[in-house]
Chains A and B, each alone.
Chain A
């Protein structure tokens, strides 16, 4: 079955004006995101990742092109800095501020139990009246994601949502996104860390506002069988740890049917080999 695309952009260009000079940051991009897919977007600083994300979230104007969202679906974005995205003082207020505008017409009332459920789904087990300044950076990002959930987002764009967090908090956010992806959310995950790619199913590499690579994660990390360097290495990125181990094993004669990407897959694959 060919997955229907939930979001597609055609000929998308975005530019910034610096005085009289126009610099094009995203250039004639054509992309489609399948429903329920997880796309990792990588690329050096200044390659246009954030601009693309913000354009897709409708936060900045576009120069040319068009964007199509499957009817009835919503896109929400979580940005890098956990400190400057929350406007309320308590979790309840934050939810209220998020909800108010969306349901302004329908006047949907939301019960505490519903709010608490969503909070719990996001991995935050705490009262609704918890002051936001008491949350850690990671918890704030979880709350930002919870706000997307409350607005029934179908597509979640995470623009380096983990880059300002410590490793423990990064894991919390990543495991929440894995959970949400399993439950059918479409994820667009912008990151610098190759270790965070391994759970995605597609890698989109941007270079100077253009798509330089667009294929599966496996292809990105391992390349074709006759390649000496994979696209990941070609673009100066560190290979994920699992891939490094598998590379060593392959060099020493072990063959894998399907090359593993993340720890769980490696464990399974090795168990099969040693049986």
Chain B
């Protein structure tokens, strides 16, 4: 079942003029291993997600077996969705169930298999990833990090989809695991067609059938692995670094041993060196070798290229942040605190619809002070709250009077709840404006100033930095939530709008999210300790 991608273009909602993936077309054959190579931010992940139907296309087509994945905008063909399984970056983060069998059950659910078949597939998949000695009844959380990752990949394998899409399956792996993965990959290739985004392409190149080089969202090259070895300049253009083999080639070019710039296999290079050596022995000395001025920076050209590349990275809001910050961003944190508190009190003391209206106007008004990007962020943050208010209103409006079906919903009661809550909503919105417009350090300084009186008895530094970080934590939670909602959608094979989760999938989403947030908190605490923010006397 071949995969055809034609004129693919994916844009981010907000910045339509800067596509993440643009004009990408390729055609991949059955039972092949395709490597997707590109620098960070080049669009590899987005491309994979587009192929798997997780992001909507702005233009172009994705076809499995000549049948399009998308029937119409916003609606993908379900049978086509079932033809591929995707494994995300750090797949071990996606585990949620209290038994390994349940992990498989969740991934296999869309395929509507009977119990026996499910068990059979789960066992086979566990075998495929060398976990056959682990019981399906065990908890996935009792596994080691490497085992967790293999389990997560196994859940994708168990779907036995013709296409397997892997996003950085080898990130952070030790040498031995990397080698194992390569062996597994050879095996999986027998049953699946694989597209894999990877930075460890040197390891996988020997077993790959095809290479797609991506740079800045565009397809830079589509070629055979051998062809890539002949054209190392493509790697340079893609900004994916200078592999050890190319470095050696450069070093040998400098001393006149090899002439062509390509990626040699060790045996091949040894052959060329021996050849040069033999020639030197017979008097045909490599003239340039003797007077070659030695420099250790033979890859310097690549380095400069890369640093250029990274510094010119797209940053959609540099103008907002660097040149002249908007008014509200320039104010003192303490002053903002004061204004926020005052406004909150005013809003709390206002009554009736008038009060609620004014509160909302104040909230919206203060949003106008933010930069465009922060407004978007703020709206994203406030959406769940809005839903919460509507649901709360609906529930409070429900009347359980037996027999009387006409008065099942009391609108007045519901509106009262909404009105009351909308004031708190407004206060929260203004709170977002405060958080988004104030940096961690500013907030920390403000708090420090306010808390100065307690310096003797309290670790003020620590408290204020922690408080500031908690406020900054909110946007990170939102990002993580989005990441896991996509994963949940992919595993359940249900097309849910990005950033949303079906109610019955909540546990699939919440458990990994919480685990990941705990990890982040731990990381931040470690970072604070590294910076020296720790209780006095503890450090040796």
Which of A's residues lie within 8 Å of B, judged by CB? 43-46, 57-59, 67, 76-77, 79-81, 84-90, 93, 96-98, 100-102, 123, 125-127, 129-131, 134, 136-139, 147, 160, 163-172, 175, 192-195, 236-238, 240-242, 244-245, 247-249, 252, 254, 263-264, 266-268, 270-271, 273-275
Provided the pairs A93-B439, A126-B311, A263-B250 are in contact, do residues A59 and B530 lie with their beta carbons within 8 angstroms? yes
Q: Which residues of B contact A273 (CB under 8 A)?
A: 277, 280
Contact A274 B440 (CB under 8 A): no
Cβ-based interface call for B247 (8 A) = yes
Q: Which residues of B contact A46 (CB under 8 A)?
A: 144-146
User: What is the bound-complex CA distance between A44 and B179, given in angstroms?
Assistant: 12
Partner of B40, one of A125, A136, A147, A249: A136
Provided the pairs A96-B441, A168-B239 are in contact, do residues A87 and B175 lie with their beta carbons within 8 angstroms? no
- Beyond known contacts A46-B144, A172-B303, A175-B303: 16 more, CB 8 A cutoff: A44-B176, A45-B174, A77-B530, A84-B523, A85-B527, A87-B527, A129-B322, A164-B171, A167-B240, A172-B306, A237-B176, A248-B269, A263-B248, A266-B251, A271-B289, A274-B285
Contact B244 A263 (CB under 8 A): yes
Q: Which residues of A contact B527 (CB under 8 A)?
A: 79, 84-87
Contact A192 B277 (CB under 8 A): no
Closest approach, in angstroms, between the C-beta of A136 and any C-beta of chain B? 5
User: What is the bound-complex CA distance between A237 and B176, given in angstroms?
Assistant: 6
Provided the pairs A44-B176, A168-B309, A172-B303 are in contact, do residues A134 and B277 lie with their beta carbons within 8 angstroms? no
Q: Which residues of A contact B461 (CB under 8 A)?
A: 100-101
Contact A79 B306 (CB under 8 A): no
Q: List 15 A-B contacts (CB under 8 A).
A: A58-B539, A79-B530, A101-B532, A123-B307, A129-B322, A134-B313, A134-B315, A167-B199, A236-B176, A238-B175, A245-B266, A263-B247, A266-B251, A270-B252, A274-B277
Provided the pairs A237-B175, A275-B280 are in contact, do residues A87 and B266 lie with their beta carbons within 8 angstroms? no
Contact A137 B40 (CB under 8 A): yes
Cβ-based interface call for B310 (8 A) = yes
Contact A248 B177 (CB under 8 A): no
Name which of B174, B311, B533 has the most chain A CB atoms within 10 A of its CB.
Answer: B174
Closest A residue to B246 by CB, please name it: A263
Q: Which residues of B contact A126 (CB under 8 A)?
A: 311
Closest approach, in angstroms, between the C-beta of A46 and any C-beta of chain B? 6
User: What is the bound-complex CA distance between A192 and B539, given in angstroms?
Assistant: 30
**0 or 1 for each of B272-295: is its CB under 8 Å from A? (1 = yes):** 011011011000011001101010
Q: Which residues of A contact B151 (CB under 8 A)?
A: none
Which of B's residues lie within 8 Å of A, judged by CB? 39-41, 144-146, 171-179, 199, 203, 239-245, 247-248, 250-252, 254-257, 266-267, 269-270, 273-274, 276-277, 279-280, 285-286, 289-290, 292, 294, 296, 298-299, 302-303, 306-307, 309-311, 313, 315, 318, 321-322, 439-441, 461, 465, 469, 520, 523-524, 526-533, 539-540
Complex A-B, nearest 7 residue pairs according to Cβ-Cβ distance, in ascending order? A167-B241, A267-B251, A248-B270, A101-B532, A84-B523, A89-B439, A271-B255
Q: Which residues of A contact B524 (CB under 8 A)?
A: 84, 87
Contact A139 B240 (CB under 8 A): no
Contact B441 A89 (CB under 8 A): yes
Closest A residue to B523 by CB, please name it: A84
Name which of B239, B294, B306, B528 has the most chain A CB atoms within 10 A of its CB.
Answer: B306
Q: How many A-B residue pairs have CB under 8 A?
A: 217
Closest approach, in angstroms, between the C-beta of B165 and any C-beta of chain A? 19
Partner of A248, one of B248, B266, B310, B532: B266
Partner of A240, one of B178, B244, B441: B244
Contact B531 A101 (CB under 8 A): yes
User: What is the bound-complex CA distance between A160 and B174, given in angstroms?
Assistant: 11
Contact B257 A274 (CB under 8 A): yes
Q: Which residues of A contact B309 (CB under 8 A)?
A: 168
Partner of A171, one of B245, B303, B469, B533: B303
Provided the pairs A192-B175, A237-B176, A274-B280 are in contact, do residues A254 and B274 lie with their beta carbons within 8 angstroms? yes
Partner of A166, one of B241, B280, B322: B241
User: What is the bound-complex CA distance between A71 and B439, given in angstroms?
Assistant: 37
Name which of B203, B302, B441, B531 has the most chain A CB atoms within 10 A of its CB.
Answer: B531
Closest B residue to A102 by CB, please name it: B532
Contact B270 A268 (CB under 8 A): no
User: What is the bound-complex CA distance between A163 and B89, given in angstroms?
Assistant: 13
User: What is the bound-complex CA distance between A165 and B239, given in angstroms?
Assistant: 13
Q: Which residues of A contact B243 (CB under 8 A)?
A: 167, 241
User: What is the bound-complex CA distance between A164 and B526, given in angstroms?
Assistant: 18
Partner of A101, one of B256, B296, B533: B533
Q: Which residues of B contact A97 (CB under 8 A)?
A: 441, 465, 531
Closest A residue to B247 by CB, please name it: A263
Q: Which residues of B contact A275 (CB under 8 A)?
A: 280, 285, 289-290
Q: Which residues of A contact B199 (CB under 8 A)?
A: 166-167
Closest A residue to B274 by CB, please name it: A252
Partner of A245, one of B172, B239, B273: B273
User: What is the bound-complex CA distance between A168 and B270, given in angstroms?
Assistant: 26
Q: Which residues of B contact A240 (CB under 8 A)?
A: 244
Q: Which residues of A contact B173 (CB under 8 A)?
A: 45, 192
Closest approach, in angstroms, between the C-beta of B282 and any C-beta of chain A? 11
Partner of A136, one of B178, B240, B280, B313: B313
Q: Which residues of B contact A139 (CB under 8 A)?
A: 310
User: What is the bound-complex CA distance between A4 and B492, given in angstroms?
Assistant: 60
User: What is the bound-complex CA distance between A168 and B242, given in angstroms?
Assistant: 7
Q: Which residues of A contact B145 (CB under 8 A)?
A: 45-46
Closest B residue to A85 by CB, please name it: B527
Name which of A102, A164, A166, A240 has the most chain B CB atoms within 10 A of its CB.
Answer: A166
Q: Which residues of B contact A254 (CB under 8 A)?
A: 273-274, 277
Partner of B172, one of A160, A249, A263: A160
Q: Which residues of A contact B523 (CB under 8 A)?
A: 79, 81, 84-85
Contact A241 B248 (CB under 8 A): yes
Contact A270 B244 (CB under 8 A): no
Q: Which residues of B contact A90 (CB under 8 A)?
A: 439
Contact B439 A87 (CB under 8 A): no
Contact B529 A245 (CB under 8 A): no
Contact A164 B172 (CB under 8 A): yes
Contact B285 A170 (CB under 8 A): no
Q: Which residues of B contact A172 (CB under 8 A)?
A: 303, 306-307, 310
User: What is the bound-complex CA distance between A160 and B269, given in angstroms?
Assistant: 30
